[in-house]
Amino acid sequence: MSFHLDQHGAVFSTRPKGRELRLAALSEHDSGQELHISFDGVQSISYSFADEFLGPLLLGPDRVVLDDVAPHLHRIIKSTMARRNIRLQDSELFAVTA
Protein backbone atom coordinates (compact mmCIF):
# COMPACT_ATOMS: atom_id res chain seq x y z
CA MET A 1 0.00 0.00 0.00
CA SER A 2 1.02 3.63 -0.35
CA PHE A 3 0.18 6.36 2.12
CA HIS A 4 -0.24 9.69 0.35
CA LEU A 5 0.80 12.60 2.54
CA ASP A 6 -0.63 15.17 0.14
CA GLN A 7 -4.12 14.00 1.04
CA HIS A 8 -3.47 15.63 4.42
CA GLY A 9 -1.78 18.85 3.29
CA ALA A 10 1.37 20.18 1.69
CA VAL A 11 3.15 21.80 4.65
CA PHE A 12 3.63 19.96 7.94
CA SER A 13 4.85 21.51 11.16
CA THR A 14 4.26 19.86 14.52
CA ARG A 15 4.93 16.62 16.38
CA PRO A 16 1.23 16.02 17.11
CA LYS A 17 0.54 16.21 13.36
CA GLY A 18 3.41 13.80 12.75
CA ARG A 19 2.04 11.38 15.32
CA GLU A 20 -1.49 11.67 13.88
CA LEU A 21 -0.32 10.89 10.35
CA ARG A 22 1.98 8.08 11.47
CA LEU A 23 -0.95 6.39 13.17
CA ALA A 24 -3.08 6.99 10.08
CA ALA A 25 -0.40 5.39 7.90
CA LEU A 26 -0.09 2.42 10.22
CA SER A 27 -3.84 1.94 10.37
CA GLU A 28 -3.87 1.41 6.61
CA HIS A 29 -0.74 -0.73 6.59
CA ASP A 30 -0.64 -4.51 6.36
CA SER A 31 1.92 -5.74 8.85
CA GLY A 32 4.81 -7.57 7.23
CA GLN A 33 4.53 -5.61 3.98
CA GLU A 34 6.62 -2.68 2.73
CA LEU A 35 5.16 0.66 3.71
CA HIS A 36 5.32 3.16 0.87
CA ILE A 37 4.84 6.82 1.73
CA SER A 38 4.30 9.25 -1.10
CA PHE A 39 5.72 12.74 -0.61
CA ASP A 40 4.35 13.89 -3.97
CA GLY A 41 3.00 17.42 -3.51
CA VAL A 42 4.64 17.93 -0.11
CA GLN A 43 6.32 21.35 -0.04
CA SER A 44 7.82 21.71 3.41
CA ILE A 45 8.21 19.72 6.62
CA SER A 46 9.75 20.64 9.94
CA TYR A 47 12.39 18.52 11.64
CA SER A 48 10.03 17.80 14.52
CA PHE A 49 7.29 16.64 12.17
CA ALA A 50 9.77 14.47 10.27
CA ASP A 51 11.10 12.95 13.48
CA GLU A 52 7.69 12.19 14.91
CA PHE A 53 6.21 10.91 11.64
CA LEU A 54 9.13 8.94 10.27
CA GLY A 55 11.34 8.12 13.26
CA PRO A 56 9.23 5.35 14.80
CA LEU A 57 8.28 4.00 11.36
CA LEU A 58 11.93 3.69 10.33
CA LEU A 59 12.73 1.94 13.59
CA GLY A 60 9.79 -0.43 13.12
CA PRO A 61 9.86 -3.98 11.76
CA ASP A 62 8.65 -3.27 8.23
CA ARG A 63 10.66 -1.64 5.45
CA VAL A 64 9.65 1.93 4.72
CA VAL A 65 10.06 3.39 1.23
CA LEU A 66 9.65 7.11 0.58
CA ASP A 67 8.36 7.98 -2.88
CA ASP A 68 8.70 11.29 -4.75
CA VAL A 69 10.58 13.20 -2.07
CA ALA A 70 11.56 16.67 -3.27
CA PRO A 71 15.34 17.27 -3.10
CA HIS A 72 15.10 19.99 -0.45
CA LEU A 73 13.26 17.57 1.87
CA HIS A 74 15.99 14.92 1.57
CA ARG A 75 18.26 16.95 3.84
CA ILE A 76 15.64 17.20 6.56
CA ILE A 77 14.79 13.50 6.42
CA LYS A 78 18.44 12.43 6.39
CA SER A 79 19.23 14.73 9.28
CA THR A 80 16.29 13.24 11.19
CA MET A 81 17.64 9.74 10.56
CA ALA A 82 21.12 10.75 11.72
CA ARG A 83 19.74 12.17 14.95
CA ARG A 84 17.91 8.90 15.54
CA ASN A 85 21.04 6.95 14.63
CA ILE A 86 19.22 5.25 11.77
CA ARG A 87 21.66 4.09 9.10
CA LEU A 88 20.08 3.51 5.71
CA GLN A 89 21.45 4.08 2.24
CA ASP A 90 19.54 6.59 0.13
CA SER A 91 18.73 3.78 -2.29
CA GLU A 92 17.12 1.78 0.52
CA LEU A 93 14.87 4.62 1.61
CA PHE A 94 14.16 6.91 -1.33
CA ALA A 95 12.39 5.20 -4.22
CA VAL A 96 12.10 8.02 -6.73
CA THR A 97 13.59 11.48 -6.52
CA ALA A 98 11.22 14.06 -7.87
Query: Which residues would be at the binding site for another protein (CB under 8 A)?
Result: 9-17, 43-44, 46-49, 51, 55, 72, 75-76, 79, 83-84
Question: Which CB atom, from 14 or from 33, has the smaller least distance to another protein?
Answer: 14
Question: How many other CB atoms are there within 10 angstroms of residue 58's CB atom?
Answer: 18
In the bound state with another protein, the residue whose beta carbon lies nearer, of 87 and 91, is 87
Closest residue by Cα to residue 63 from 10, 1, 11: 1
Closest CA to 33 of 73, 4, 60, 72: 60
Judged by beta carbon, residue 15 or residue 36, the one nearer another protein is 15
